[in-house]
Amino acid sequence: MKSSSERRSNEEVNLCRVMVVDDSAIARGIVTRTLDEEEGIKVVASVPNGLMALKAIGNREVDVVVLDIEMPELDGLAALPRLLELRPDVKVIMVSSASQRDADISLKTMAMGAVDYVAKPKAGLGGAESFRAELVSKVREHGARDAKTAKRKPAPSKPAAAAGKPKPSPRNPARNLARPEVIAIGSSTGGPQALAEVLRNIDPRLTQPIMVTQHMPATFTGLLAEHMTRYSGRPATEARDGEPLQPGHIYIAPGGKHMLVERRAAGGTIIRLDDGPPENSCKPAVDPMLRSLAKNFKERLLVVILTGMGCDGLKGSEAAIEGGARVLAQDRASSVVWGMPGAVAQAGICEEILPLQLIGPAIFRIAGGEAK
């Protein structure tokens, strides 16, 4: 039987220590109480601006920083790189209002090293159960013991043979050599940076449409499309119901809607936006998109699952494999969170498990040129 000191020692090892940074005393109080009420989470510092956060992080052990954007003296955008310079292993979750301007800044902060974001509800934090639940979930995920203790290694220039080429699934033992007509990408935590890297690295000669479901609120997805246009050099837009799939175009699932496809009797394929219930606690979710694409494109589909918490994309990838599609996944070393890609990798249905910088070239290798 473990002694009380041994139990306390184990609790300390598994404890997630959080610093809350927000200029609003009310917001700090709500976030602090919300997190402190959760088992295994402890708020070790609560400060009103970035300058005080820099001072506090120097003399405290902190695993996760919940960082507001708009603050006096030193705002979140300016504080973020300095916090990461002082503590490279700390996980920073940005908290912003749902305004267009703050959404744009939140996307920029993720390119600067923030691991995630939570949008503040317009009605205030007090009555927003969904905000508090999302915040707790993300703090737990990023502050998990394995995430704290695992040393992040730089992605190798080539995938390891054992991890890079898993055996084909028994459900799809013969490798499909049909050239895909559409590329589907699913992502969540760390997704905006990963998407930018993948899309930037795809050869411009790729002509197939690319459909992307990234877990994001509605305000963010339109901005994500704008960012992806700049990063990729391809037209990227938030998907609209009824629009036809066009060659070389990137379609981003809009926040609050699942993105599906429908074959037209007269030929061609159009996008359908679905207002059904969330799946895997997400809306948009990756699974509905993949099921719909698998039904309509069968073996002429290439699925890519990037970094993200949870297992959204697993069931959809299984449906895609059953139809003869091919699946790629991001490797553990280059993922912010190896939840979604890890789920499909561990299910044994991936053709390849690749570091982030090799996924774009792999897409072109498999799907390059005109779909036949």
Say what the pLDDT of residue 88 is: 86
Say what the pLDDT of residue 118 is: 87
Better pLDDT: 366 or 121: 366
Say what the pLDDT of residue 159 is: 39
Do residues 172 and 362 make contact, with C-beta atoms less than 8 angstroms apart? Answer: no
Whole-number Å distance between alpha carbons of 312 and 22: 31
Q: Letter for the amino acid at 178?
A: A
- pLDDT tens, position by position, 319-359: 999 999 999 999 999 998 899 999 999 999 999 999 999 99
Average pLDDT over the chain reads 86
Whole-number Å distance between alpha carbons of 280 and 266: 34
Better pLDDT: 97 or 125: 97
Which of 136-140, 215-219, 287-291 comes out lowest in average pLDDT? 215-219
For residue 26, give every residue at least 6 positions away whose Cβ sits within 8 Å of its Cβ, in sequence order, or none: 125, 126
- pLDDT tens, position by position, 76-118: 999 999 998 899 889 999 998 766 677 788 788 877 878 888 8
DSSP 182-219: EEEEEE-TTHHHHHHHHHHTS-TT--S-EEEEE---HH
- Give how far the C-alpha of residue 163 lies from the chain's centroid of Cα atoms, to the nearest Å: 21
| Two tokens, residue 101 | 């301007």
Q: Letter for the amino acid at 233?
A: G
Whole-number Å distance between alpha carbons of 350 and 332: 14
Closest by CA to 287, choosing from 215, 190, 202, 189, is 215
Q: Compute the average pLDDT of residues 144-149.
A: 54
Catalytic residues: 188, 215, 312
Percentage of the chain surpassing pLDDT 70? 84
